[in-house]
Amino acid sequence: MVYITRRETFAAAHRLFIPELSDEENLKIFGKCSHPNWHGHNYTLEVVIAGEINPETGFVLDIKKLKEIIHKFVIDKVDHKNLNLDTDFMKGLIPTSENICIAIWNQLKDKIPSGKLYSVKLYETENNYFEYRGE
């Protein structure tokens, strides 16, 4: 088994809040991430594909093809967007990094033409990252 990773970056705004709660209650739960005027991150996304090497091409998956897939189904939908308002696959979700990871996984899981999606890792800051493996 060989694992290939494509790294991408995007900038996005979001607000962590539960609409049914007051601003004060949301502040207690989510801290400054619940600021009513949003806040943002410069995210780093790593998508890992696992698979056997195709003996004809020497690839698990052409990394250029993986880049195209990630851009079409994720980056083009999130970069310089508001995750609460602008991103279709985040509708109805609190845009925590955990939920973003799972949502990105769901965007990509059926789009990989060879190998299989192994993990989605999302860096919110240089110190905080989140990983989902479809479990």
Indicate which residues carry an active-site annotation: 33, 80, 124
Cα–Cα distance measured from residue 61 to residue 85, given in angstroms and rounded to the nearest whole number: 33
CA atoms of 67 and 127, how far apart (whole Å) = 25
Residue 3 burial (CB count, 10 A): 12
The answer on whether 35 is annotated among ligand-binding residues is no
CA distance 87 to 89: 6
> Which residue, among 14, 10, 8, has the nearest Cα to 96 in the 3D structure?
14
The answer to whether 39 is annotated as binding is yes
* Alpha-carbon span 134 to 119, nearest angstrom: 7
Alpha carbon distances (Å) from 53 to 2, 58, 124, 134 = 7, 6, 32, 22
Residues flagged as binding site for Zn(2+) = 14, 39, 41
Residues flagged as binding site = 14, 39, 41
